[in-house]
Amino acid sequence: MNEQLNVEAADASKRIDKWLSDHLEDVSRAQVQQWIREHHVSVNERHVKSNYKIQEGDLVAWSVPEVKPATIEKEDIPLTIVYEDEDVLVVNKPVGMVVHPSAGHYSGTLVNGLLYHCDDLSGINGVERPGIVHRIDKDTSGLLMVAKHDKAHQHLADQLQEKTVEREYEAIAHGVIAHDHGTIDAPIGRDPKERQRMAVTEEGKDAVTHFTVERRFEEFTHLTCKLETGRTHQIRAHMRYIEHPLAGDHKYGPRKTLALPGQALHAKTLSFTHPVSGERMKFTAPAPEHFQKVLRELEETS
C-alpha cells in the first residue's frame, strides 16, 4: 500500500520517524525506523535517515510492507475474559493492545493471546484474524466479541450487518457540548488530505452515532456514544466533525489535552444474541483506572 502526505508548517523540524509514527494508526516508531532502513519511506523522492528533520511542504511517501504470511504465534498474554462458552467469548481489551497482527505488529496482539487461550477460533477472516468479528483501535479499551467457530462468526457478523448488536462507548470530549442528546448522521470515508485518518466526506459510507451527555466540566464533556453503524474510527471522526474531538486523541484532536495513554474512549457495553442458544446477552465493563482518574480530577476542579 503506497501512501503520501505533505508536511504542514506546524510539523516543521520534527524527526521523520517520530512524525510518521504519530500519523500512522497502530504503527510504532521502531517499526517506522525499520521501514526507513529498508527504503520503504522517502522524502521528496529521496531516501533519508530516521533523524531527518522534515520541512513544510516536504512530500513524504511510504509503502507499508505486506503482513508476513507466517503462522501467527501463540503467546501467553494475560487476557481479561468477561464471558466464555464453547461458541463465543467476550474480552475486555486494554489500551495499547492491537487486536490482530498487521504491518509492524506481528506479536503481542489480542489474537496472539487468544490463540494461546483457545484451541479453536473461527477462520472466516483468515489466518491473521482468527475469531475476530469486529475490532476496536489500539488505544481504545473495552469489550469485543470473539467467535470460536465459523457458524458463530457468521451469525455474529450478520447481527452487525443488521445493526442488532448494541455497542455503547464512554468518552471524554474537548469543549462543552450544549445538547443533552444528539445524533451525528454523516458519511465517513478516507480523509483526502491525510490518508491515515477518516473524515466526514460525501464519498463516504453511511455512519450514525448517537450521544448522551453524562457530565459537563469547564473545558470537557463526559458522554456516552452509541453506535448505529461501525465505520473505522467512527466516534473519533464524528466528534472531530462536530468540533468536539476526544481528549487524548492526537490524530483527530489537539496536542494539548488531558494526560491519557490514548483517546478517552472505552467500549463499555456490548449486547448481542447468542449464535447458538438464541439468548440475548449483555455485558458491561467499567472504564480503566486512568480514565476514571481523569474524571475524578475534572470533577475536583469544576
The Cα–Cα gap between 103 and 1 comes to 11
31 vs 20, 24, 39, 77, 245, CA distance in Å? 10, 11, 12, 21, 27
Q: Quick check: is 137 catalytic?
A: yes
Note the Cα 85 to chain centre separation in Å. Answer: 26
Identify the active-site residue in 17, 137, 191, 249: 137
In degrees and rounded to multiples of 5, residue 162 shows phi and psi of -85, 0
C-alpha cell, 297: 480530577
CA neighbor of 114 nearest in space, from 138, 146, 143: 146
**DSSP-assigned letter for residue 151:** H
171 vs 147, 157, 177, 209, CA distance in Å? 27, 25, 12, 13
Helices (H), the chain: 16-23, 29-37, 110-117, 150-161, 234-241, 289-301
In degrees and rounded to multiples of 5, residue 149 shows phi and psi of -150, 165
In degrees and rounded to multiples of 5, residue 186 shows phi and psi of -150, 130
The Cα–Cα gap between 239 and 220 comes to 13
Residues acting as catalytic residues: 137
